Amino acid sequence: MSDSSTAEAEQLVAEATGNGSEADGPRFTLELNQDQKDIKEWVHGFAEGVVRPAAEEWDEREETPWPVIQEAAKIGLYSFEALGQFWADETGLTLPIANEELFWGDAGIGMAIMGTSLAVAAIFGQGTPEQMGEWIPQCFGDADEPKVGAFCASEPDAGSDVSAIRTTAKYDEAKDEWVLNGQKAWATNGGIASVHVVIASVDRELGSRGHAAFVVPPGTKGCEQGAKVKKHGLRASHTADVHLDDCRVPGACLLGGKEKLDERLARVREGKRSKSQAAMQTFEASRPTVGAQALGIARAAYEYSLEYAKERRQFGKAIIENQAIAFALADMKLEIDAARLLVWRAAWMGRNGHKFENAEGSMSKLKAGEVAVWATERAIQILGGNGYTREYPVERMHRDAKIYTIFEGTSEIQRLVISRAISGVHIK
């Protein structure tokens, strides 16, 4: 094509697609804008310079890496302002991008830093503006004394089946207090958090529609840590049972307020649909972000094994020269990129108010979680004996990846959600 016909063709494409005409609004692009690039680079720098070097130590210690959280707080990465800035991006991509970079550094430490965001998401999603202003800053503390938050939904007999929650919340009208009783299981930051968000049943007969979310303020009597869980992976992140024993919190700690709860319960009792189920709301919103964390682990394992395969020599040549190894790496790259597109789509939809008609949030978390488990296992295989030892990081990445097919809805539950959404049939 001549120069002039190329220009004409470009003009036609621009007219047909609306590109080039500012008035038509933002065009579709996967090119990151400058803010997104800057944040990606900033988080990556922290992940590379601070998180990675500390990963092995805190995995072995199985303790919360407070000094690393403090470093993150000092640079402003561990703060509501940073989370707010990531969230503010109208494309929805900055939050998953930041999570992918941080968890690329290390997932255990990543979760120690990001675990608070589940409690924050619950307060942000369900709280009044006053509740947000009061409790969210207390989830983080400050750079001199960082704090963490915990979100407590699961119980020993209520994991996938959130409707089986037995923890009760009874209203003491005389004192305008809620009294919480029950046992929470596997709570990230459970017992060490300053602020616990607890999902409790105010009416057992209504199942998950009778649930409400409560803030348990720092130092509240009757809220104690139970057994700390020893884990397969994500070991720098604290996980524990939480006991609620006649734990009294002020009436104002009910997220969203009593009037809203009473209205909702009345609607449910009349047989009308209720929009909000306390725990599910939080999980639905956070699924693409959780998927992005899994992606970070998968990418770290892929990059490590790619470099290793170029260096390691057997039979007189680099092992990557064998198709078996090169194709495995090609598939890893392919699956990771495919998972990222699903994560970005769901994040964009969530941020722009598009309903997940086909459970796109679940799709993103399911795919990314399964890719992370599979890719980290492939990475171990590529490293051979070295991959199986704690001298190399890929076995830790594999241990860390496994939780992503379990928490925030197991892979089976995600498939249940997707199959129900696409079929309209109540698949069991």
Catalytic center residues:
408
One of 410, 419, 420, 421 touching ligand FAD (CB under 6 A): 410
Backbone Cα Rg of the chain: 23
| Contact string (CB under 6 A) for ligand FAD, positions 291-310, x = contact | --------------------
Token duo for residue 150: 């915990």
As a whole number of angstroms, the distance between CA 41 and CA 156 comes to: 41
Least separation in angstroms between residue 158's CB and ligand FAD is: 7
Q: Helix (H, G, I), strand (E, B), or coil: what is residue 220?
A: coil
Find, among 30, 75, 33, 29, the residue nearest to 50 by Cα.
75
Would you count residue 239 as binding ligand FAD (CB under 6 A)?
A: yes
Q: Within 10 Å of residue 239's Cβ, how many Cβ atoms?
A: 24
Least separation in angstroms between residue 232's CB and ligand FAD is: 9
Least separation in angstroms between residue 109's CB and ligand FAD is: 14
Would you count residue 412 as binding ligand FAD (CB under 6 A)?
A: yes
Least separation in angstroms between residue 419's CB and ligand FAD is: 10
As a whole number of angstroms, the distance between CA 180 and CA 216 comes to: 9
Give the interface segment with ligand FAD, choosing from 81-89, 294-302, 350-358, 399-407 (CB under 6 A): 399-407
Q: Which residue has the tokens 């006053």?
A: 130
Dihedrals phi, psi of 294, to nearest 5 degrees? -60, -40
Find, among 353, 397, 354, 362, the residue nearest to 288 by Cα.
362
CA-based torsion, 232, 233, 236, 238: positive or negative = negative
As a whole number of angstroms, the distance between CA 373 and CA 400 comes to: 9
Dihedral through CA 285, CA 291, CA 292, CA 296, nearest 10? 160
In the bound state with ligand FAD, the residue whose beta carbon lies nearer, of 47 and 234, is: 234
| Contact string (CB under 6 A) for ligand FAD, positions 187-206, x = contact | xx------------------
331 burial class (0-12, 13-18, 19+ CB within 10 angstroms)?
middle
* Footprint on residues 60-119 left by ligand FAD (CB under 6 A): 118
In the bound state with ligand FAD, the residue whose beta carbon lies nearer, of 116 and 305, is: 116
Give the interface segment with ligand FAD, choosing from 5-13, 184-192, 205-213, 361-369 (CB under 6 A): 184-192
As a whole number of angstroms, the distance between CA 190 and CA 62 comes to: 15
Size of the site for ligand FAD (CB under 6 A): 21
Buried b / exposed e along 300-323 (16+ C-beta atoms within 10 A): bbbbbbbebbeebeeeeebbbeee
Q: Which amino acid is at 230?
A: K
Task: Give the list of residues 6+ apart from residue 363 with CB closer than 8 angstroms, or none.
Answer: 342, 346, 414, 418
Give the interface segment with ligand FAD, choosing from 128-136, 186-194, 262-270, 357-365 (CB under 6 A): 186-194
In the bound state with ligand FAD, the residue whose beta carbon lies nearer, of 373 and 403, is: 403
Least separation in angstroms between residue 371's CB and ligand FAD is: 18
Least separation in angstroms between residue 121's CB and ligand FAD is: 11
As a whole number of angstroms, the distance between CA 88 and CA 121 comes to: 14
In the bound state with ligand FAD, the residue whose beta carbon lies nearer, of 177 and 224, is: 224
Would you count residue 416 as binding ligand FAD (CB under 6 A)?
A: yes
Q: Which amino acid is at 101?
A: E
In the bound state with ligand FAD, the residue whose beta carbon lies nearer, of 183 and 386, is: 183
Q: Which residue has the tokens 């699924």?
A: 287
Q: Within 10 Å of residue 7's Cβ, how many Cβ atoms?
A: 11
Least separation in angstroms between residue 240's CB and ligand FAD is: 10
One of 32, 306, 318, 406 touching ligand FAD (CB under 6 A): 406
* Footprint on residues 150-169 left by ligand FAD (CB under 6 A): 151-154, 159-160
In the bound state with ligand FAD, the residue whose beta carbon lies nearer, of 127 and 369, is: 369
Find, among 123, 297, 309, the residue nearest to 198 by Cα.
123
Q: Which residue is nearest to ligand FAD (CB)?
A: 159
Least separation in angstroms between residue 168's CB and ligand FAD is: 16
One of 80, 214, 308, 407 touching ligand FAD (CB under 6 A): 407
Q: Where are the alpha helices (DSSP H) in 115-248?
A: 116-126, 129-140
Give the interface segment with ligand FAD, choosing from 19-27, 88-96, 231-239, 362-370 (CB under 6 A): 231-239
Give the interface segment with ligand FAD, choosing from 255-263, 289-297, 300-308, 402-410 (CB under 6 A): 402-410
Dihedrals phi, psi of 415, to nearest 5 degrees? -65, -35
Binding site for ligand FAD (CB under 6 A): 118, 151-154, 159-160, 186-188, 231, 234, 239, 403, 406-408, 410, 412-413, 416
